[in-house]
Amino acid sequence: MHATRRTLLAAVFLAVTMGAVQAKDPKELVIGTSAGPYADQIKLGIKPILEKKGYKVRIVEFNDYIQPNFALAEGSLDANVFQHIVYLSRFASEHKLALSELVKIPTAPIAIYSRKHRSLDAAKSGSTVALPNDPTNQARALVMLDQLGWIKLRPKVDPVRASEKDIAANLRGVKLLPLEAAQLPRALQDADFAFVNGNYALASGLKLKDALRTEKISPNYANLVAVRTADRDKPFARDIAAAYRSREFLEVTNRHFPDYAKTDEQLALQAGK
């Protein structure tokens, strides 16, 4: 009786396990991204290319920078699109996740905006400046503040790891307000100035051309597609990378995302190389 029951349970477990393995169609891709322009890049450019290759593409939008990497690591997503290599490397290391960069993508820069002032010259003692509270994007904002002459960072500070602790002098006497990146567009209602990541700026209706100062993006801060390290050389990953590197997607970028920083592959295509 017990042996029969054990055999039955084993058979049920095997059937459930096999069903779970077979449930995922290899031609079905689930891509996570932040709401806004990077989701639009997939919808307008990447999804149609992949569908021509026979894939079914489902897009899942997130409103934070935490969940997409956990969802990717646990297998709920096949890829995600929202972050740069500095953030990915730090996050993967801190949480012991086997995630890797697949391909760079056209990126909207972080920039400083204001609804109260038309010029950066309006900054004075007591002016409030909202900026991202996550370490990597906050470092970008602090470097820009240093370049503007509003603060002075410690000599020889690593610009990728700069934090509020590295401020040697607050030359303009501004008040810094660290906030979640997604909240920064709304902060413009109250703050004098706000540093807003490009995706959240565009998603909220801000235009990149309306920024008072825009970051010149370094390779460290170009956004990317991330996948599980074990999947990096799988056919679906190669097809996603090829879609982002294609001339077809370059045309979509030029038409719908003209103010974005293009990837090296896109610049080479555009130059006719």
pTM of the model: 0.75
H or E segment to which residue 3 belongs? helix 2-23
- One pLDDT digit (tens) per residue for the chain, 273 residues: 444 444 443 443 344 334 433 446 779 999 999 888 899 999 999 999 999 999 999 999 998 889 999 999 999 999 999 999 999 999 999 999 999 999 999 998 899 999 999 999 999 999 999 999 999 899 999 999 999 999 999 999 999 899 999 999 999 999 999 999 999 999 999 999 999 998 889 889 998 889 999 998 888 899 999 999 999 999 999 999 999 999 999 999 999 998 899 999 999 999 986
pLDDT digits (tens, 9 = 90+) for 115-130: 999 999 999 999 999 9
Under a CB-based contact definition with an 8 Å cutoff, are residues 74 and 228 in contact? no
Question: Which of 63, 70, 107, 99 is closest to 227 using CA atoms?
Answer: 99
Answer whether 27-107+220-270 and 111-216 agree in fold.
Answer: yes
H or E segment to which residue 158 belongs? none
Indicate the DSSP class of residue 205.
T
Identity (one letter) of the amino acid at 72?
L
Indicate the DSSP class of residue 42.
I
CATH, domain range 111-216: 3.40.190.10
Under a CB-based contact definition with an 8 Å cutoff, are residues 265 and 245 in contact? yes
Structure tokens at 92: 């993967």
Q: What spatial distance separates the first Cα and last Cα of the chain, rounded to whole Å?
A: 73
Residue with tokens 């820009």: 144
Q: How many Å separate Cα 58 from the centre of its chain?
A: 18
Write the CB contacts of 76 (distance below 8 Å, at least 6 apart in sequence).
30, 32, 60
pLDDT digits (tens, 9 = 90+) for 6-22: 444 344 334 433 443 34
How far apart are the C-alpha atoms of 60 and 49, rounded to whole Å?
18
pLDDT digits (tens, 9 = 90+) for 152-186: 999 999 998 999 999 999 999 999 999 999 999 99
Structure tokens at 97: 């996740």
Domain range summary for the chain, segments of one domain joined by + = 27-107+220-270, 111-216
Return the pLDDT at 9: 39
Any idea which architecture 27-107+220-270 has in CATH? 3-Layer(aba) Sandwich (3.40)
